[in-house]
Amino acid sequence: MFGEVFNQHNWEAVKSSIYGKTAVDVERALAKEKRNLEDFKALISPAAMPYLEQMARLSQAATLKRFGKTIQMYVPLYLSNECQNICTYCAFSLDNKIRRRTLTDDEILKEVAVLKEMGYDHVLLVTGEANHTVGVPYLKNAIELLRPYFSHIAMEVQPLDQDEYETLIAAGLNTVLVYQETYHEGNYKIHHPKGNKSNFNYRLATPDRLGRAGVHKMGLGVLIGLEDWRSDCFYTALHLNYLEKTYWQTKYSISFPRLRPIEVGTNENTSHKSFDTYMSDKELVQLICAYRLFNEEVELSMSTRESEKFRNNVIKLGITSISAGSKTNPGGYVVEPQSLEQFEISDERSPQEIARMIRLQGYEPVWKDWDHALEFSNKS
């Protein structure tokens, strides 16, 4: 289990090791063909900043070799904003007094019609954590409902047990995203004071449960803005490294969501916006390139929380999948467009506009890159 690997590392030691990397370490890492975790530390360190252009070129070449001139398109579908957790950064937090809504079958299908109209074939289901209303039976039903419409179904919901994942995979689930948010245990507890989510270790072991359940693909990441991003991303790379060796038949993707401003509703706690550990655009580019140079095969995903200009320019730097036209509220596409969003999106262009932008850059937007027929044995 990853916990054993995790416990061999000390947060402060990791952090000072990253910040202690020098130009020599960076140059050594850049010169290698295969890079290890120490090289990754050098590439995300402040010492690598002067090498950003070189990193970008290497990252572009490595991404082209593996993924070609293609960008995978996906779209989120929020099914519910009901949530029993308190997360200091999230609009769906239990203590945020908003109207709660969970979509019915009929409403889901109305939303699906809009997504199909947009051209989507890969969908990402999102919910809060409300086990009594949005538990495994609800999710299973939703997956079965969606399966005829999408070639690839991903899910970003609360962590589940292994047998629950097995049930959902058998129903047609292909990918599960589960972000640790932060690998800093103390800060994790501060940002997740209440609800099941406050259990750091259960969340940390989720990718292991997913791997044992035989999931086709899983997505890792941290929420950038909760802690020192460099240290958190090192732990993500450490986790990836462990998972690839342990669950070698599973594919992996990484996301790097930066915190966006959220509406705090009637909640008096206005500390939501006061994060002092954000990362700059330049640093995000550094991170994307560093992930690619560390791992040529991992998928790197970018959501609409980033700006138009930024998204236009990172298409060629190592990103392999992006969303477009996203709504982050349940019913946001057609059923109830006015409800509160989980986070404010920045790039509001339509999927067609994004597809055009991708083509103008000499890449092809790919709508379909999976088929339920390929995972036959899991459903028998």
Partner 1 sequence: MLETSALTLAGKTFTSRLFTGTGKFNSAGLMEDALLASGSELVTVALKRVDLGGQQDDILSHLNHPQFNLLPNTSGVRTAKEAIFAAQLAREALETNWLKLEIHPDPKYLLPDPIETLKAAEELVKLGFIVLPYIHADPVLCKHLEEVGTAAVMPLGAPIGSNKGLRTRDFLEIIIEQSKVPVVVDAGIGSPSHAAEAMEMGADAVLVNTAIAVSENPVQMAQAFKLAVEAGRMAFEAKLAPAKNFAEASSPLTAFLED
Among 44, 69, 198, 228, binds partner 1 (CB under 8 A): 69
Residue 362 Cβ vs partner 1, minimum distance, rounded to whole Å: 5
- Which long-range contacts link 295-298 to residues 24+ away (Cβ below 8 Å)? 295/237, 295/240, 295/244, 296/62, 296/63, 296/65, 296/66, 297/66, 297/252, 298/240, 298/252, 298/253, 298/254
Mark the segment that binds partner 1 (CB under 8 A) among 66-74, 220-228, 263-271, 345-353: 66-74
* List of residues 6+ apart from 186 with CB closer than 8 A: none
Asked if 189 touches partner 1 (CB under 8 A), the answer is no
Residue 108 Cβ vs partner 1, minimum distance, rounded to whole Å: 21
Asked if 79 touches partner 1 (CB under 8 A), the answer is no
Size of the site for partner 1 (CB under 8 A): 30
Asked if 107 touches partner 1 (CB under 8 A), the answer is no
How far from chain centre, in Å, is Cα 279?
Answer: 17
* List of residues 6+ apart from 140 with CB closer than 8 A: 167, 168, 171
Q: Which of 178, 160, 186, 165 is nearest to 221 (CA)?
A: 178
Site string for partner 1, 264-303 (x = CB under 8 A): ---------------------------------x------
Mark the segment that binds partner 1 (CB under 8 A) among 60-68, 110-118, 176-184, 198-206: 60-68
Q: Which stretches within 247-340 are classed as H helix?
A: 281-294, 308-314
Instruction: Using DSSP, state whether 220 is helix, strand or coil.
Output: strand
Residue 119 Cβ vs partner 1, minimum distance, rounded to whole Å: 11
C-alpha to C-alpha distance for 112 and 116, rounded to whole angstroms:
6
Asked if 244 touches partner 1 (CB under 8 A), the answer is yes
Site string for partner 1, 1-40 (x = CB under 8 A): ----------------------------------------
Nearer of residues 31 and 373 to partner 1, judged by Cβ: 373
Instruction: Using DSSP, state whether 114 is helix, strand or coil.
Output: helix
Mark the segment that binds partner 1 (CB under 8 A) among 39-47, 112-120, 285-293, 369-377: 369-377
**CB neighbour class for 306 (10 Å; exposed up to 12, middle 13-18, buried from 19):** buried
Residue 374 Cβ vs partner 1, minimum distance, rounded to whole Å: 4
Mark the segment that binds partner 1 (CB under 8 A) among 9-17, 45-53, 247-255, 349-357: 247-255
Asked if 349 touches partner 1 (CB under 8 A), the answer is no
Give just the sign of the alpha carbon dihedral 99, 100, 104, 110.
positive
C-alpha to C-alpha distance for 252 and 338, rounded to whole angstroms:
34
Q: Which of 53, 50, 28, 54 is nearest to 41 (CA)?
A: 28
Asked if 366 touches partner 1 (CB under 8 A), the answer is yes
Asked if 68 touches partner 1 (CB under 8 A), the answer is yes
Which residue is associated with the tokens 């640093």?
A: 283
Instruction: Using DSSP, state whether 210 is helix, strand or coil.
Output: helix
C-alpha to C-alpha distance for 237 and 259, rounded to whole angstroms:
20
Mark the segment that binds partner 1 (CB under 8 A) among 8-16, 316-324, 345-353, 363-371: 363-371
C-alpha to C-alpha distance for 339 and 335, rounded to whole angstroms:
10
Mark the segment that binds partner 1 (CB under 8 A) among 73-81, 194-202, 266-274, 358-366: 358-366
Among 66, 116, 309, 356, binds partner 1 (CB under 8 A): 66
Task: Name the β-bridge partners of 323.
Answer: 74
Nearer of residues 81 and 175 to partner 1, judged by Cβ: 175
Nearer of residues 69 and 194 to partner 1, judged by Cβ: 69
Residue 315 Cβ vs partner 1, minimum distance, rounded to whole Å: 11
Instruction: Using DSSP, state whether 344 is helix, strand or coil.
Output: coil
Site string for partner 1, 114-153 (x = CB under 8 A): -------------------------------------x--
Q: Where does this chain bind partner 1 (CB under 8 A)?
A: 64-70, 151, 217, 244, 248-251, 297, 359, 362-364, 366, 368-371, 373-377, 380
